[in-house]
Amino acid sequence: MFTYKSEILKVGVKFFSDKANEDDIAELDALINRRASEGWELATYDYMATSSQIKGAFIVTFKKEI
């Protein structure tokens, strides 16, 4: 059996594109590595753009065996 934890990781402001960039991916990697060091495993993630295409976010879900 697992317990799950979801987090929202906001990305940098976008002026011409709503796509994630290398800095956003570096922040995602850092979050995944921090949670891995706490015993969490990445279960799923998704990038969510906003309708204004200025600021998006990743929703990241981790799991840990209980």
Model confidence at 52, in pLDDT bands (50, 70, 90)? low
Model confidence at 16, in pLDDT bands (50, 70, 90)? low
Q: Compute the distance between CA of residue 57 and CA of residue 63 in angstroms, rounded to an integer.
A: 20
Q: What is the pLDDT of residue 29?
A: 94
Domains of the chain by range and CATH? Answer: 2-65 (3.30.70)
Q: Output the pTM of the full model.
A: 0.80
